Amino acid sequence: MAVTLNHDILPLFRSGDIACMRGKGVFLEDSGWMSDASGDEAHPDHANARRVFEQLSQGSMPPDGAWPAEHVATYRQWMTDGFTP
């Protein structure tokens, strides 16, 4: 079964993570924003989701400590599975 944003990824973010990142222009709770296929200079597609992944995999997000490796792997699988909301 494919990993989806609403079922598998959003529950990994705590309400404080969502509020903190919203203040920085990162809308973790917005499936349209997270699954947006648009690219940017650094990413040819799905730039929002890929920028979030970079921060998660570097351990700089969430702000109070890195996600466990299993959470990062689930997020990576969501991207591999097609960024399904």
Question: Chain centroid to CA 3: how far?
Answer: 12
Predicted confidence band of residue 41 (pLDDT cuts 50, 70, 90) = very high
Q: In 23-84, which residue ranges form alpha helices assigned H by DSSP?
A: 31-34, 47-58, 69-80
Range of the domain at 62: 5-80
The average confidence (pLDDT) of the chain is 96
pLDDT digits (tens, 9 = 90+) for 7-25: 999 999 999 999 999 999 9
Q: What percent of the chain has pLDDT over 70?
A: 100
- Identify the pLDDT of residue 63: 86
70 falls within a domain: yes
Tell me, yes or no, whether 85 lies in a domain.
no
How many domains, in total, are found in the chain? 1
Residue 68 pLDDT exceeds 90: yes
